[in-house]
Amino acid sequence: MIIKAIKTRKFLPPKDDLWEFLSSNIKSLKENTVVAITSKVVSIGEGRSVKIEKISGGAGRASGANRAGGAGRAKDELAMMEADKYIPRENSPGGWILHTLKNNMLIASAGVDESNGANYFILWPKDPQSSSKKIWQFLRKKFNVKNLGVIITDSRLVPLRRGVVGIAIGFFGFKPLKDYRGKKDIFGREFKMETSNIPDSLATAAVLEMGEGSERQPIAIITNIPDLEFIDKEFKPKNIDDSFEIPEKEDMFYPFLSAVNWKKGGSGKNR
């Protein structure tokens, strides 16, 4: 697999031209390519930016200790509105993080971020799957390719590990799971549960190449991907066992997720 990150200009909140940005930075695409784009770029392209000062007046209502002061309380306020569910920051060791569930993903602060935001909070795209499809349609037409994938990336923490890794918050153009179930291992034992998560695996590799700081490499081109099955429509699982997402109560981590006192968030309804 080959990953090439693309150096770009600054993409400026509160809103910038996503289509011009993609056109000016992606010069060509080959068949059987996946394009990774950071969620921040997609969000700014959709105008999903909130001036920090705009909500700072209500910041005092956010609960728990906060290492970041007033701006951090404002961020919590916004993240609570964007989240499906959240755990008050006071329950996080040292008050460092607001744990949230959004779009069936466990993520910090519902994806709300101020890094590289020029005094704006950048929210997640309103509908990452729809955003992925629109970008896929645009690039597929522009470069006249048939087999193309798109992933929208962000970063997340992994339990009991320091540092972040990539996650795909939206994808389009390929099947998300490599299924080993029913196949044999090298000693003839049949796999019962094994599947590979392709979108998040690609996102982790791409984010490592793109960087997390001031690299200004928000796009990555991924080629030579083994065993990737491209499709030209939205992925629809045949049954619940083939679904990429898992209902919370059926997830292997449900004993941990259900053991804490989640608060109901605003689910983005106020934005």
- The span from the CA of 15 to the CA of 256, in Å, is 38
**Given this model, what pLDDT does residue 190 score?**
96
CB-CB contact of 148 with 99 (8 Å): no
For residues 121-145, average pLDDT: 98
Strand partners, 221: 4, 35
**Given this model, what pLDDT does residue 63 score?**
44
Strand partners, 91: none
- The span from the CA of 154 to the CA of 164, in Å, is 10
The model's confidence at residue 58, banded by pLDDT at 50, 70 and 90, is very low
Taking alpha carbons only, the member of 114, 136, 83 closest to residue 13 is 114
The model's confidence at residue 87, banded by pLDDT at 50, 70 and 90, is very high
The model's confidence at residue 268, banded by pLDDT at 50, 70 and 90, is confident
**Given this model, what pLDDT does residue 271 score?**
52
φ, ψ of residue 23 in degrees (nearest 5): -65, -40
Number of alpha carbons in the 13 Å side-chain half-sphere of residue 217: 16
User: What are the structure tokens assigned to 23, written together?
Assistant: 């056109």
User: What are the structure tokens assigned to 216, written together?
Assistant: 């200004």
Taking alpha carbons only, the member of 232, 146, 164 closest to residue 203 is 164
**Given this model, what pLDDT does residue 69 score?**
58
Least confident of 1-5, 126-130, 168-172, 235-239: 235-239
Helix (H) or strand (E) holding 89: none
Taking alpha carbons only, the member of 134, 125, 73 closest to residue 268 is 125
For residues 44-49, average pLDDT: 98
* Higher-confidence position of 140 and 67: 140
User: What are the structure tokens assigned to 230, written together?
Assistant: 């491209």
Cβ atoms within 10 Å of 139's Cβ, excluding its own: 22
For residues 109-127, average pLDDT: 95
Rg (CA), the chain: 19
User: What are the structure tokens assigned to 271, written together?
Assistant: 């934005």
